Amino acid sequence: MKTDELVSLLAAGEVAVPRRTLPSRLALATAAGLLASTALMLGLLGIRSDLPQAAMDPMFWVKIGFAGLLIVAGLVATWRLGRPGVKLGRLPPSTTAMPVLLLWMLALASLGQATPSQRVTLLLGETWSSCAFLIALLAAPLLASTLWAMRGMAPTRLRLAGAAAGLFSGSLAALVYSLHCPEMTAPFIALWYLLGVAIPTTLGTWLGPRLLRW
């Protein structure tokens, strides 16, 4: 087929596109993923029974804020990297780095004030062996739905786009997990929550070139 003919063909059909199809697809994917992830959390783990008291503790809000900022970074990166010619910009990297650095500073301060035996408790809490794994598990449906949304877009940097989808899913999962998680120390969050978000991010980086080609 000659290129002229291809052009005529493409222009002959329905060429109009409904507005805002991309944002609604991403919103739909996020809602579905979040629903599945929350259902998984409720069915498998349950909400911590002392949530009302925990909500009075500033550390609870540190956790929420940490996850929240990473969610913003992941969402903006996903949205930008999904469209050709849109630059990633400075916001996503700085909104990823800032909460991590702040949390590390908080963790170091808290470790500095503690005795050596307390430090181990601060770092490992009671659930260190399952925390990161459970966040990654809760991130799985979100990663699947976010990658689905991204397949409807047109990412040109596939590894980075996959990483963005992973960061978005992982931090949303961390938010969901914090409704269950009993741990309330900065060192614990700085280590295990970060690892929990890093797992889906790494997985997304690996999956990007495999699932997002078009």
Residue 188 and residue 181: Cα distance in Å, rounded?
11
Task: Check binding of 144 to other proteins (CB under 8 A).
Answer: no
Options 66-74, 76-84, 101-109, 140-148: segment touching other proteins (CB under 8 A)? 76-84
Burial 6-26 (b: 16+ CB within 10 A, else e): eeeeeeeeeeeeeeeebeebb
Nearest to 203 by CA among 165, 156, 154: 165
Nearest to 79 by CA among 17, 6, 168: 168
Residues 161 and 155: beta-carbon distance below 8 Å:
yes
Task: Check binding of 210 to other proteins (CB under 8 A).
Answer: no
Options 78-86, 93-101, 127-135, 188-196: segment touching other proteins (CB under 8 A)? 78-86
Task: Check binding of 86 to other proteins (CB under 8 A).
Answer: yes
- Which two tokens mark 19? 């507005």
Burial 115-140 (b: 16+ CB within 10 A, else e): eeeeeeebbbbeeeeebbebbbbbbb
Task: Check binding of 214 to other proteins (CB under 8 A).
Answer: yes
**Residue among 74, 82, 99, 200 that touches other proteins (CB under 8 A):** 82
**Residue among 11, 52, 58, 112 that touches other proteins (CB under 8 A):** 11
Handedness of CA 28, 29, 32, 38 (dihedral sign): negative
> Least distance to other proteins from the beta carbon of 188, Å?
41
**Cβ proximity to other proteins, 8 vs 130, nearer residue:** 8
Options 16-24, 69-77, 123-131, 140-148: segment touching other proteins (CB under 8 A)? 16-24
Task: Check binding of 43 to other proteins (CB under 8 A).
Answer: no
**Residue among 58, 85, 112, 116 that touches other proteins (CB under 8 A):** 85
Options 42-50, 82-90, 122-130, 175-183: segment touching other proteins (CB under 8 A)? 82-90
Task: Check binding of 21 to other proteins (CB under 8 A).
Answer: yes
Nearest to 81 by CA among 145, 25, 161: 161
Binding residues vs other proteins (CB under 8 A): 1-17, 21-22, 82-86, 153-154, 156, 213-214
